[in-house]
Structure 1
Amino acid sequence: MQVFLETPRLLLRNFTEKDADNLYELDSDLDVIRFTNLGIIKGEKPINIDYETIKNITLPKWLTYYEKYEFYGIWAAIEKLSNEFIGWFHFRPASDNLFYFNLGFYDNSEIELGYRLKKPKWNQGYATEGSKALIDKGFSESDALKVVSMALANHTASIRVMEKVGLKFVAKYFHPEIQMDVVKYALDRSEYMVASKKNIANY
């Protein structure tokens, strides 16, 4: 197991070809995908998750991140206590998210933060814990200039996580494909450094 990042309760490790079953199970939960690109395009009705697409297209694409980048990618989230796969986090070039990039919501200078977790692990602070660790590592070790994230305007849980890890509201957009409002949050490197110095000073 190649671990990219460790937090008090999580290990973020590289995906492998053996994770197809994990991803299939995660995306088969309607409550998990209802606020994602996949879910909001299809609506709130059950959809057919294609196992072969996950195995032969999604996973191989994700595995290429580890060859291309040192600090950017998508990682499996493992709960230390149970050693269970509970979802994933990504910290990647925002241009890879064509759902938003092609509409001009993202640009080439930004790094996108995101995650997807199993429903039984919601409301336990895992999303905040993993996201904060990725931001800290990204700004301290990589050349990231701005971290961004998007959510449906009515998805209060995701917005709350973004705010907890220091991202600030940037804009609201109307997405023509899904006919819904989405919001963008961001954190610049300079803002992060100022906040970090304040935290050290107050310690």
Structure 2
Amino acid sequence: MDVVAGTERLVLRRLTKEDSEHLVELDGDPEVMRYTTGGVPTPRIRIETAVLPAMLRDYGRYPGFGAFAGQRRDDGEFIGWFMLLPRADSAPDEAELGYRLRKPAWGKGYATEGSRALLRYGFTERGLRRAFAETMTVNARSRRVLEKLGMRLAYTFFPPYAPIEGSEHGEVRYTLDRDAWEAASERTRG
């Protein structure tokens, strides 16, 4: 198991080909996919031939970054994935933070916990200057997670893709700079 980060309750490890079934289940839940595809499940063939292979390729393209399986430390149960990944249209010392969790893992603090661990990893071990995250404006639960992480609303935008319910309100980008993260970390330690 290739672990990149962990918490008291979670282990974040690199995905493998064996995670295909986990991703099929995750992306097959209409509620999980509500703010991504409007609730349309991702077909198995797409997971197996495009989604998972792209995630695995990212490890080589962006060493130390990517999407990481989140599993509970106590029983190894897969709860979803957490991502910290540079984007082609961003500065080299910036990365996008994201996550997708199975519905049974919602409301238990895992999104905040796993994302916090990845931010720590990104700022201390990968030399990031800034992390950013994007979600639909109407996705109040994800916005709360981002705010708990200390991220601040940067702006609202309207991407040019097929509309889903709520997209008329746009998407939001949140950011967190390393300096702000370090200052907040000092306050919580002190």
Same fold (TM over 0.5): yes
C-alpha deviation, 1:156, in angstroms? 0.7
Unmatched segments (≥5 aa) in structure 1: 96-100, 102-106
Q: Distance in 2 between matches of 1:66 and 1:175?
A: 27
**Alignment partner of 1:32: what SS?**
coil
Name the structure 1 match of 2:14. 14
Q: Distance in 1 between matches of 2:41 and 2:177?
A: 38
Q: Cα distance 1:174–1:57, how it changes in 2: closer, same or farther (>3 A)?
A: closer
C-alpha deviation, 1:162, in angstroms? 0.2
- The root-mean-square deviation of aligned C-alpha atoms, in Å, is 1.7
Q: Distance in 2 between matches of 1:120 and 1:199?
A: 30
**Alignment partner of 2:79: what SS?**
strand
Tell me, yes or no, if structure 1 residue 53 matches structure 2 residue 36: no
Deviations 1:53-106 (A, max 9, x none): 2112221211123223343111111112231111100000133xxxxx6xxxxx
Name the structure 1 match of 2:91. 108
Name the structure 2 match of 1:184. 173
Amino acid at match of 1:18: E
Amino acid at match of 2:2: Q
Q: Distance in 1 between matches of 2:73 and 2:125?
A: 24
C-alpha deviation, 1:28, in angstroms? 0.5
Q: Distance in 2 between matches of 1:30 and 1:75?
A: 22
C-alpha deviation, 1:14, in angstroms? 1.1
Name the structure 1 match of 2:67. 74
Name the structure 2 match of 1:142. 126
Q: Distance in 1 between matches of 2:188 and 2:41?
A: 47
Amino acid at match of 1:191: A
Give the % identical residues.
38
Q: Distance in 2 between matches of 1:24 and 1:153?
A: 26
C-alpha deviation, 1:48, in angstroms? 5.3
Name the structure 1 match of 2:101. 117
Tell me, yes or no, if structure 1 residue 164 matches structure 2 residue 139: no
Deviations 1:17-54 (A, max 9, x none): 11111100110100000112xx1xxx34xx35321221
Name the structure 1 match of 2:187. 198
Q: Distance in 1 between matches of 2:148 and 2:87?
A: 21
- TM-score of the superposition, structure 2-length normalised? 0.89
Q: Distance in 1 between matches of 2:187 and 2:101?
A: 31
